[in-house]
Amino acid sequence: MEAEVPISGTNNTTGKEKKTKRKEILEKKKAIDEIIKSACTGGKDNLAFYPPYQYFHKNGLCLYLESGCGDKLSSQLKLYIQNLLKLNMEGPYGSEWPVEEKVKRREMVSPEARYVFVYEPSNENTNHIPELVDRESTSAHCVFDNGPIVGFVHYRFTIEEEIPVLYVYELQLHPRVQGKGLGAFLMELTGLIARKNRMGAVVLTVQKANSLALNFYTSKMRYTISAISPSRVDPLNELHKSYEILCKTFTREAQAILEESG
């Protein structure tokens, strides 16, 4: 009867493979963290890299764009953002709006929040801009020294499924400037900013009740419903979720995880 010889070599190989795999995972995480850290470097004006996107002259609009940061918003600017959010989003959110409004007020002043604000030049006649009405307020638009704001994009650099992404938290335009190509212009800009900062994708959330926004992103901007959206993660229970997660990917890895998974 032959004695069994322990296959120690196999155990050693398995241990080395696990160690190598762990090292690869840690290195990948470190690389992603560095990408996000670089993108979030304080003081970076992402708009400065794209002079053609600092102005919008089209369809009767004469506008210019400026960057901003969530922890540097004036009280007047915060109020404008709140008012425009309520005007555009109270309907799509319905009964969920009171809770969601509180969430959005916290999100908008986060140090991680990055903005592109859209202004009209101060010499433009702005008397015809309708009022943004809420219970407490104020005027319909914010007129600063550099002119009234008519819209904004709020975005952040973050991580989804181990992919560095630019996440669009808000794209809000005053009704007067909607339907004139400005929204598409701003989304093109976010794509450029994402690529410049080595993001794998642009990701955003849309309320299902906001059919105009869903059609804009999926048809006009060619975004797809992400593999991480509730309707794809759990189709049987997706009716309990009021939103879809959309994405546009720039790398093969991002496409495989955010578009094609499952």
pLDDT at 147: 75
Q: Which two tokens stand for residue 234?
A: 């759990």
Element (H, E) at 134: none
Give the predicted TM-score (pTM) of the model: 0.84
Q: Provide the 8-state DSSP code for 108.
A: H
Q: Which two tokens stand for residue 237?
A: 């229970």
What percentage of the chain carries pLDDT values higher than 90?
73
- pLDDT, one tens digit per residue, over 188-217 is 999 999 999 999 999 999 999 999 999 999
The more confidently predicted of residues 148 and 135 is 148
pLDDT band at 128 (very low <50, low <70, confident <90, very high): very low
Instruction: Give me the mean pLDDT over the 5-24 stretch.
Output: 73
Q: Interior CA angle at 81 toward 186 and 164, to 5°?
A: 50
pLDDT, mean over the chain? 87
The pLDDT of residue 139 is above 80: no
Q: Interior CA angle at 78 toward 76 and 84, to 5°?
A: 105
pLDDT band at 68 (very low <50, low <70, confident <90, very high): very high
Rounded to whole angstroms, the Cα distance separating 215 from 244 reads 12
Instruction: Give me the mean pLDDT over the 180-193 stretch.
Output: 98
Rounded to whole angstroms, the Cα distance separating 105 from 210 reads 20
Q: Which two tokens stand for residue 49?
A: 């890299």
| Cβ atoms of residues 248 and 254 within 8 Å | no
| Cβ atoms of residues 190 and 122 within 8 Å | no
pLDDT at 5: 53
Q: Which residues contact 211 (CB under 8 A, 6 or more apart)?
A: none
pLDDT at 234: 87
pLDDT band at 104 (very low <50, low <70, confident <90, very high): very high
pLDDT at 109: 96
Q: Which two tokens stand for residue 107?
A: 């999100």
Instruction: Give me the mean pLDDT over the 175-184 stretch.
Output: 96
The pLDDT of residue 133 is above 60: no
Assign 98 to helix, strand or coil.
helix
User: Which of 136-140, 187-191, 233-237 shows the lowest mean pLDDT across its residues?
Assistant: 136-140
Rounded to whole angstroms, the Cα distance separating 234 from 239 reads 10
- pLDDT, one tens digit per residue, over 39-52 is 998 678 999 999 99
| Cβ atoms of residues 245 and 203 within 8 Å | yes
pLDDT at 173: 97
Distances (CA, A) of 168 to 5, 101, 120, 221, 257: 60, 17, 23, 14, 19
| Cβ atoms of residues 73 and 108 within 8 Å | yes
